[in-house]
Amino acid sequence: MTPLLPVIVPFGAAAISLALGRRHALRRSLGVLALVANLVASVLLLQEVRDGSVVTVVVGDWPAPIGISVVVDLFSAIMLSVASLMLLAVFVYAIGSSRTDDTTLFFHPVYLLLASGVSASFVTGDLFNLFVAFEMTLVCSYVLITLGGSKPQVRHGTTYVVISLLASTLFVTAVGLVYAATGTVNMADLAVKLQAIDPALREALSVLFLVVFGIKAAIFPLFFWLPDSYPTAAAPVTAIFAGLLTKVGVYAIVRSQTLLFSQDTHSTLLLATAALTMTVGVLGAIAQDDVKRILSFHIVSQIGYMIFGLGLFTVAGLAATVFYVVHHILIKTTLFMVGGLIEERTGTAALRRLGGMLHTSPFLAALFLIPALSLAGVPPLSGFVAKLTLIQSGLEVGAYMTVSVALFVSILTLFSMTKIWAGVFWGAPEAPPPMPEGLESSRPRFPPLMVGSTAALVAASLLFVVAAAPLYQLGQRAAEFLFEPAQYVEAVLGP
Amino acid sequence: MIAVLAVHAVVALACAALGRRLGRHVLLVGALAPASSLVWLATGPSPTEKISWLPAVGLDLELRLDGFGTLMVALVGGIGVLVFLYAWHYFGERPRLVLFTSYLVGFAGAMFGVVVADNLLVLYLFWELTSIASYLLIGFEDEEGVARSAALQALLVTTLGGLAMLAGLVMLAQSAGTYSLSGLLGGPPTGPTVAPALVLVLLGAFTKSAQFPFHFWLPGAMTAPTPVSAYLHSATMVKAGIYLVARLAPAFAGLHEWWRPLVCGVGVVTMIWSGWRATFQTDLKLILAQGTVSQLGFIMALVGLGLPEATFAGVAMILAHAVFKAALFMVAGIVDHEAGTRDIRRLGDLGRSMPVAAAVAVVAAASMVGLPPLLGFVTKETALASLLSEAGWPATIAVAAGSILTTAYALRFLAGGFTRYATDDREIVVDEAHSPAAGFVAGPVLLAIVTIVAGVFPRLVDGLVAGAAGALGSEGHHLALWHGFNVPLLLSAAAIAGGWLLWRYPPRAVQEAAARLPRAKMVYASAIVALNRIADRVTSIVQNGSLPIYLGVIVATAVIGPGVILTRAFRLPESLIIAENSIQAVTALLVCVAAIGTANVKRRLGAVLFLSAVGYGVAVLFVIQGAPDLALTQMLIETLTLGLFVLVLHHLPTHFENIGWRLRQASRLILSILTGVTAGAFALWAAASRQAAPLSGEYLTRSQPEGGGANVVNVILTDFRAYDTLGEITVLTVVALGAAALILTGRGRSEVPHNDEELVGQKGGDDR
Amino acid sequence: MIDRSLILQMTADVIIRTAAVFALFLLFRGHNAPGGGFVAGLVVVSGLVIRLVASGRVRARQSLPAPPATIMGLGLALALATGIAGWVWGDAFLEAAKVTLDVPLLGEMHMTSALLFDIGVFMVVIGVGTALVLALAETENGP
């Protein structure tokens, strides 16, 4: 199984979809088909590397540092699999949504290219190619975030684009510096050659990459763009961004810190960053009164937990991070999908204009309650299991400060989830504002595709709980391999 | 046990999914769940069960039933069934009973889980589930703002403790090397983290069992429907903290000298403070709620000692309290239901209209006060005796003082609800009520009968209680109705007399003075206010919406992070070449000047032109370095960009807006200079420290023979790194699509870009 | 639009044709000398800008064989297909194959399948450039 399939399949589908023009039904089936194939390919890859082997090819059949290496190890495969599941679910959801259906011509191809770019980020073994993959996802996100082109979207989209451009500039500068220092951009090659350079320079590069990827991952103090730009986008777009994009940044941080800069562990820096990210993010969430804005700030806060696990630099900690990332992708995507359903149903996401939906839409309430409690770490949901592993590994090495912050932030998370619950689902039902012209009659209030895909992800998150043991084992093994970069290097460069 | 849990889950889900058409009878279906735990208990089940879940982190579904668990299961199941039957009358026909039933069944299952969990994490799991169920139940009347905030308050307080407890449990387990509760108690760990861990666990227990100063959530929770108050907030859930302390105390109380003063101290303070507050409440339910907190403190003090006799007494009190307090709550609910109010200033003389309920209230209150021959008397005598022999006089006196309060508020409850007894603030408005249906009072009557029978024949429950105490290491103690004339009896009598006096002649001045003391509830309220304020403040600072500030912070982070390391270790490379020839130097200088010009010019067009000059200058540098391809591309791109800019500039003001505010300008200048200097120094440093030969050499040697092209740039683009190119042309495509769509939409022809014939051709291929 | 100078239009025609030929020249020699699909595409776009100025938006669009989005899609597909071909007939995705062709006029040429890839790039760049230019032009002139 070539590790390139998850890149090629959606890419090809995007190209065809673009050339298809207005044949919407065809484009829809093509997209679903491609994303199903993508999911299958990812899972097969996961199957292939679960024993710890590393699948690698060099594009163009050049020897490793010359051509671009494409590498899938267990961590990549886990990310690929969960990402492709989200991509499929959200695509189905988007077909049902009024804001991303046929009226927006470029949604399908751009979404598929986004999928391709996300996969490319996870499978690449080349730093410059990672930049290219980032660019792919970024430009797609620029288009998707402004989809519809309303004024607030363009205004907040501008923030997003400008900051992303700055991040790209920093990234390409950093790649340039790395190339200047080592003469290579192949990550396995870098893992070897970075050992030979001035340790102080390596440390400086390490911090620079932390900043570069930190912008993408939305850690403190680099996260401002996220809560401003995400909530204005269409619901399916926000859902997939919330689930995947920041996690691509987290992936890159984990990958670079364990593979390239395994010598220099910025444990204190990372733990402090983690604590601040959790706290500031959750405080931001508390200050909001709009479902999508609350959820957006929680993305930031939750990233802190992932950085926390990495910052411990133990196998248990990193395993917890991997586990947490998977849980978070699933839950966060689901929550935004529920947010989108609320909006689809009522035309608003502002808490003060909502209420009583527990009684008008009890099923939706259940679809919200499960992932919301999971996000707050309430047992026995996936968030509890994930948070537990983090707390355990933190306490094991005596990171009491960060553990305390993590626990306290949990309760604040619960607090702001109850704010949504009480605002949207409890209370007297508000009269919903009139639907936008033309949408009123033509659409069911709960498009079955949207509800179905959301429910499927909720079910998946429950399955996550049941299958926690094998999943955790995967995460643990992935963490072990991440701490053994020699294996990765050997797979790419040969013995 | 797993089967019982499964029954609860299935019943809860089935009620939620299918219960709508049953109307109020869904509550009867719900009653099947707690009934199943009683049936299961009667079948003499196997004591341990285990399902492996996540063994790597110690999270396995380990369940274990011992004597203490049996007592608790009997309470959860028995009172549960009664509460469901009671609720069936209490609610009558009304919507949303489906939700109520599901929540309540869910709670019963979770509570069952708490008392049979033998794994610390599973214990925590069910513990938190009871909190969630409690949240949903307190907020059941969700249109009421009071209910919503009371629900939140209860949730936050108990979860705060719960999370502390989680940390504590994990720390304990890590010291002990096992997550098994019985394993932990079998070999209590020692080590530096054990004491803080225990404090954290106690925090969880105290919040859950509403101990001072976390007690305030429980009276607040009285906004829940009365069946909930009877079940969760007096008989079962609030006993969870006591349950946990009772489990831990025998193992740990002796190992840490602070344990007994802390736990008993908290218990006694809670007993007296809340007992005192109960004596001047005006709402029947609030009297009971404060009384419950007070009694919980009493039991906490007993079981917290971890000594055999006190443990035995504590366990007996758990049983007695659950029985009489559930009965009292049910009566309060009946009064509320039939008379329409619970305010004792307006109520009165209901003894005539509802004699049965009044009789139940009298029996239950008498049991609470400790009058013979009721169960409450039996257990209170045991408790006082155990305190006297194991804890000494101070604790005994304190508890006796608390008992005075118990008597006083019990009298206030009875007199307020069922007599015409006059006080100055009382103006009886409601003195008649419907007589409650027989089924409605059946539950309380049954509980009252239990109180009497178990008091007269303590042997009937002795097995249960002694078994429970035995599981906590307290062997050989038994309940007895009559211990002879002894000190405890004397103390009881004195407490009753004192209580009567306190009720008859309430010290108004003291009450008013006490009412002015700071209250924990206020602390909570101001904490929430402060939290919201801090959140607003922090958010308005970090998330101020200003793009320049965002950019500034990001750039500053990117500069300062590596910059700090740079300043420590930077050395100029030995052979520093400033420029290779004069053209290079001149071009570079021009580029710099143009860059500075871009930043300083006031007109947009000027800035664009300067920017182009930078671009062309860089192209010249490419030419000098021998890269004609790059130069050509750069030139073309610059030209096109210039053209596009000119097109766009039409739509923008000719001048940049004035930034004003010199400080801001200065900070931008400083940041820019810092960025430039850092980037430059970084580049020099990086290039100077290269050890290995760069990849470019490989490209040059392989380009012609293996790549089949002499133009190495092109071979790189289309062969060596064609994969990158594939990505980059994708980027271009998407940019074009996005930009074109935005431009076309921005023209304002429509919200949605239907005008995309420009891009995809005329309509017609549309197969919609 | 009507009074656009005929001379300008005819000059533009010449320039465009020259640009097209020049672009093809750049494209095909790109592997061995400065040029390549990217630059060649930009040259075509420049030509289109001239056509736009000379004859207006409608004519400019008509001078394209297909709508820009389709050109881009096909270009991407071609580049990808080259890659997949390298995988199917060779050993790896995007592996280039070399052939020697005897082309009239130009003589014997060493070609690699990388050229096909470059043509894909060429098409994408044309599509991108024209899409942007046409969109901007529409905001300028109205329909």
Q: Point out which residues pair with C112 in neighbouring strands.
A: C98
pLDDT at B193: 93
pLDDT at B84: 95
- Chains touching A (3+ CB pairs < 8 Å): B, C
Q: Looking at the structure, do residues B270 and B336 belong to the same domain, yes or no?
A: yes
Residue at a domain's end among B490, B506, B522: B506
Chain segment A59-71, per-residue pLDDT in tens: 888 888 888 999 9
Which residues are CB-neighbours of B505 under 8 A, at least 6 positions away? none
pLDDT at B766: 34
- Are C95 and A60 an interchain contact pair (Cβ–Cβ within 8 Å)? yes
Within a domain: B440: yes
Closest CA–CA distance from residue B4 to any residue of chain A (Å): 17
Residue with tokens 């009753």: B496
Exposure pattern of A111-137 as b/e (b: 16+ CB <10 Å)?
A: bbbbbbbbbbbbbbbbbbbbbbbbbbb
Residue A436, helix vs strand vs coil: coil
Within a domain: C78: yes
Q: What integer best gives the mean pLDDT of chain A?
A: 90
Q: Looking at the structure, do residues B213 and B161 belong to the same domain, yes or no?
A: yes
d(Cα A343, Cα A336) in Å, to the nearest integer? 10
Q: How many beta carbons lie within 10 A of that of residue B254, not counting itself?
A: 14
Residue B498 φ then ψ, to 5°: -60, -40
Percentage of chain C lying above the pLDDT 70 cut: 83
Mutate which: B729, B737, B745, B756, vs C, most C CBs within 10 A? B729
pLDDT at C69: 82
Burial of C3 (0-12, 13-18, 19+ CB in 10 A): exposed
Closest CA–CA distance from residue C38 to any residue of chain A (Å): 17
Higher pLDDT: A352 or A102? It is: A352
d(Cα B355, Cα B352) in Å, to the nearest integer? 6
Confidence of residue C34 (pLDDT cuts 50, 70, 90): confident
Closest CA–CA distance from residue A419 to any residue of chain C (Å): 45
Confidence of residue A436 (pLDDT cuts 50, 70, 90): low
CA distances from B250 to B262, B311, B312, B521, C128 (A): 15, 8, 11, 33, 77
d(Cα A28, Cα A16) in Å, to the nearest integer? 12
- Are B707 and C96 an interchain contact pair (Cβ–Cβ within 8 Å)? yes
Domain span including residue A181: 5-493
Of C69, C72, C94, the CB nearest to A60: C94
d(Cα A8, Cα A119) in Å, to the nearest integer? 9
- Are A18 and C76 an interchain contact pair (Cβ–Cβ within 8 Å)? yes
Please identify every stretch of chain B with a pLDDT value under 70, giving residue numbers as ranges: 424, 658-661, 746-768
The domain total for chain A is 1
A246: pLDDT strictly greater than 50? yes
pLDDT at A125: 93
Domain span including residue B716: 699-761
Cβ neighbours of C126 in B, within 8 Å: none
CA distances from B600 to B591, B596, B613 (A): 14, 6, 14
Q: Looking at the structure, do residues B288 and B209 belong to the same domain, yes or no?
A: no
- Are B53 and A183 an interchain contact pair (Cβ–Cβ within 8 Å)? no
Confidence of residue A377 (pLDDT cuts 50, 70, 90): very high
pLDDT at B326: 95
Residue B5 φ then ψ, to 5°: -60, -40
Of A17, A18, A58, the CB nearest to C92: A58
pLDDT at A157: 87
Within a domain: B552: no
Chain segment A255-287, per-residue pLDDT in tens: 999 999 987 778 899 999 999 999 999 999 999
Higher pLDDT: C67 or B462? It is: B462
Secondary structure letter of residue B347 according to DSSP: B
- Are C37 and B735 an interchain contact pair (Cβ–Cβ within 8 Å)? no
Smallest CA–CA distance from B636 into chain C, residue? C42
Length of chain A (residues): 495
d(Cα C121, Cα B730) in Å, to the nearest integer? 9
- pTM for the full predicted model: 0.92
Closest CA–CA distance from residue C89 to any residue of chain A (Å): 12
Exposure pattern of B99-126 as b/e (b: 16+ CB <10 Å)?
A: bbbbbbbbbbbbbbbbbbbbbbbbbbbb
- Report angle CA B96, B154, B147 to the nearest 5 degrees: 40
- Are C94 and A21 an interchain contact pair (Cβ–Cβ within 8 Å)? no
- Are A8 and C72 an interchain contact pair (Cβ–Cβ within 8 Å)? no
Residue with tokens 């163009």: A60
Exposure pattern of B571-585 as b/e (b: 16+ CB <10 Å)?
A: eeeeeeeeeeeeebe
Q: Point out which residues pair with B49 in neighbouring strands.
A: B63
Residue with tokens 């024949």: B457
Higher pLDDT: A308 or B518? It is: A308
The secondary structure element, H or E, covering residue B604 is helix B604-624
pLDDT at A103: 54
Of C67, C77, C92, the CB nearest to A59: C92
Percentage of chain A lying above the pLDDT 90 cut: 72
Taking residues C46-54, report their average pLDDT.
Answer: 80
Q: What is the dihedral of CA C117, C123, C128, C132, to 10 degrees?
A: 160
Taking residues A2-28, report their average pLDDT.
Answer: 87
C85: pLDDT strictly greater than 90? no
Domain span including residue C109: 6-141
How do beta strands B59-64 and B48-54 pair?
A: antiparallel
- Are B730 and A116 an interchain contact pair (Cβ–Cβ within 8 Å)? yes
pLDDT at A438: 47
- Are B715 and C114 an interchain contact pair (Cβ–Cβ within 8 Å)? yes
pLDDT at B761: 53
Q: Is the peptide bond before B45 cis (omega within 30 degrees of 0)?
A: no
C104: pLDDT strictly greater than 90? no
d(Cα B387, Cα B368) in Å, to the nearest integer? 18
Listed range (A181-195, A274-288, A433-447, B363-377) with the worst mean pLDDT? A433-447
Closest CA–CA distance from residue C27 to any residue of chain B (Å): 10
Within a domain: C1: no
Length of chain B (residues): 768
d(Cα A214, Cα B586) in Å, to the nearest integer? 38
Of C70, C110, C125, the CB nearest to B761: C70
Residue with tokens 């710099």: B592
- A185 with B538: CB under 8 angstroms? no
d(Cα A292, Cα A25) in Å, to the nearest integer? 30
pLDDT at C6: 76
d(Cα A476, Cα A489) in Å, to the nearest integer? 20
Q: Pick the closest to residue A479 from C142, B670, C21, B56 (CA basis).
A: B56
- Chains touching C (3+ CB pairs < 8 Å): A, B
Closest CA–CA distance from residue B729 to any residue of chain C (Å): 6
CA distances from A69 to B89, B192, B231, B699, B730 (A): 72, 50, 64, 16, 19
Secondary structure letter of residue B94 according to DSSP: -
Mutate which: B102, B132, B163, B768, vs A, most A CBs within 10 A? B163
d(Cα A399, Cα A320) in Å, to the nearest integer? 15
Chain segment A316-367, per-residue pLDDT in tens: 999 999 999 999 999 999 999 999 999 888 888 888 888 888 988 899 999 9
Q: How many beta carbons lie within 10 A of that of residue B332, not counting itself?
A: 27
CA distances from B761 to A18, B739, C67, C101 (A): 12, 17, 5, 37
Confidence of residue A434 (pLDDT cuts 50, 70, 90): low
- Report angle CA B214, B216, B219 to the nearest 5 degrees: 140
* C interface residues, A as partner, C-beta within 8 Å: 67, 69-70, 72-74, 76-77, 80, 83-84, 86-87, 90-96
Q: Looking at the structure, do residues B329 and B383 belong to the same domain, yes or no?
A: yes
The answer to whether residue B754 neighbours chain C at the CB level (below 8 Å) is no
* Residue type present at position B194: V
The answer to whether residue B643 neighbours chain C at the CB level (below 8 Å) is yes
Cβ neighbours of C132 in B, within 8 Å: 644, 736, 739-740, 743
Within a domain: C62: yes
The secondary structure element, H or E, covering residue A55 is strand A55-59
pLDDT at C109: 59
Cβ neighbours of C83 in A, within 8 Å: 8, 59
Within a domain: B637: no
- Diameter of chain C by CA atoms? 59
The domain total for chain C is 1
d(Cα B382, Cα A326) in Å, to the nearest integer? 55
The encoded tokens of residue A398 equal: 């005596």
Cβ neighbours of B761 in A, within 8 Å: 21
Where does A107-242 have alpha helices with state H?
107-123, 127-145, 151-182, 187-193, 199-217, 225-229, 235-240
Confidence of residue C105 (pLDDT cuts 50, 70, 90): low
Confidence of residue A49 (pLDDT cuts 50, 70, 90): very high
- Are B155 and A418 an interchain contact pair (Cβ–Cβ within 8 Å)? yes
The DSSP annotation for B676-693 comes to HHHHHHHHHHHHHT--SP
Within a domain: B556: no
The domain total for chain B is 3
Smallest CA–CA distance from C85 into chain A, residue? A60
pLDDT at C65: 80
d(Cα B358, Cα A283) in Å, to the nearest integer? 51
Q: Looking at the structure, do residues B206 and B234 belong to the same domain, yes or no?
A: yes
Q: Point out which residues pair with B63 in neighbouring strands.
A: B49, B117
Length of chain C (residues): 143
Q: What is the dihedral of CA B275, B277, B279, B285, to 10 degrees?
A: -90
Dihedral sign, CA of A287, A288, A294, A300?
negative
- Are B724 and A129 an interchain contact pair (Cβ–Cβ within 8 Å)? yes
Closest CA–CA distance from residue B129 to any residue of chain A (Å): 7
- A64 with A192: CB under 8 angstroms? no
C1: pLDDT strictly greater than 50? no
Residue with tokens 């699999």: A81
